[in-house]
Amino acid sequence: MDPQHLARLDDDGSVRSIRTGTAGGSTTAVSPRAPEVPVQAPALDSWPLPVGGDGPALPDVWPLPSAEAPRLLAEDAVPARPAYSADAVAAALAAGYGPRHRKPSTRTRRPALYLAAAMIGAAGIAGTAVATDSSPAVAQADEPVSVAEELGMVQAEQPAASAQDATARLQQMVASRAEREDAEAAAARVQADADAAAVAAAAEAARPKAVLPVQGARLSSGFGYRWGTLHAGIDFAAPLGTPEYAVMDGVVVRAGAASGFGLAVYVQHENGDVTVYGHMQEILVAEGQVVRAGDPIALLGNEGQSTGPHLHVEVRLGGIDGQKVDPLPWLRERGVQV
């Protein structure tokens, strides 16, 4: 059997062929040194050596590594960096930094958002390392990554209000305020009118329905015949200029000169009866004027057929030309005591 051929690498990097024992195991003398065959093997400074079918074409004669290769390989070995996903980052933030009752550190901790940014950045770099040119969906290492977007913390931008919208809104607010103020003013007026009506109603209820025609006077003559002549009323003596009042609500139907009275005022009341006031010094009302019980109508005088300052009062049922009756019972029926 042919002898085995072995190759030995000399210190200068050349390869030398040697031949030893036979296939039968016997030992024979080594043949004289064969001529040296130089092999051109380019030295490689970079490490690790390229491998794989996609790498550069290799020479026919493989260059053996130098003696420093194992040590360099051991030093350059770096553990693979783990890849983190967005879900892993969110879980890490939710879990916190450590036990709840851990002793607080004296060093200032960075916010959780910084940790999330670092982890997402590492995940982006790892994804870029394993991505190929045929995967455009994978983010590049230098592409910016938004932590807020990854964590779903970005809010949709609100469209800015235009000047026209702002003006319309302001006008709407002004109009609404003006309407509210108008409504409040109207309500205040209604309330004021109601209060005034209530006051008037209370005053009306308290107001007397009938009064004496003169205050502080003395009854000097009554109703009846004297010397064959009917005295159709009653007389109240009082100083000149004493105010005279309408005994009930009514309308002035006549005011002015009158035969026998000098000056006289005729007031017709709601039931149709007419009261007559005579001999006054001055008339204070006019024909057609509405008067109420107690309103001043004249000043006491001594005009006409009179023997002294006094007020002559008559009551005529149903009108000026109605039946003349005694005023005293008529006044008493209406709550006026003389």
d(C-alpha 123, C-alpha 129), whole Å: 10
For position 4, what pLDDT does the model report? 47
Could you give the domains of the chain?
1-43 (no CATH), 218-333 (2.70.70.10)
The 3-state DSSP class for residue 262 equals: strand
Q: 255-288: per-residue pLDDT in tens?
A: 999 989 999 999 999 999 999 999 999 999 999 9
Averaged pLDDT in 10-residue chunks for the chain of 338 residues = 49 51 46 55 52 50 53 53 59 55 52 59 53 47 63 61 82 88 93 94 90 95 92 96 97 96 97 97 97 97 94 97 96 93
Q: Which long-range contacts (CB under 8 A, 24 or more apart) does 33-42 make?
A: 38/14, 39/14, 39/15, 41/13
The answer to whether the beta carbons of residues 300 and 281 sit under 8 Å apart is yes
What counts of helices (H) and strands (E) characterise the chain? 6, 15
Residue 325 forms beta bridges with which residues?
Answer: 315
For position 113, what pLDDT does the model report? 56
Cα dist from 202 to 58, 141, 199, 276, 292, whole Å: 124, 93, 5, 30, 16
**H or E element, residue 253:** strand 250-258
For position 3, what pLDDT does the model report? 46
Q: In the chain, where does DSSP find H-type helix? A: 69-76, 86-95, 112-130, 147-150, 163-206, 327-333
Q: 299-323: per-residue pLDDT in tens?
A: 999 999 999 999 999 999 999 999 9
For position 137, what pLDDT does the model report? 44
Dihedral of alpha carbons 309, 314, 319, 320, sign: negative
Cα dist from 142 to 117, 128, 133, 137, 312, whole Å: 14, 9, 15, 14, 122
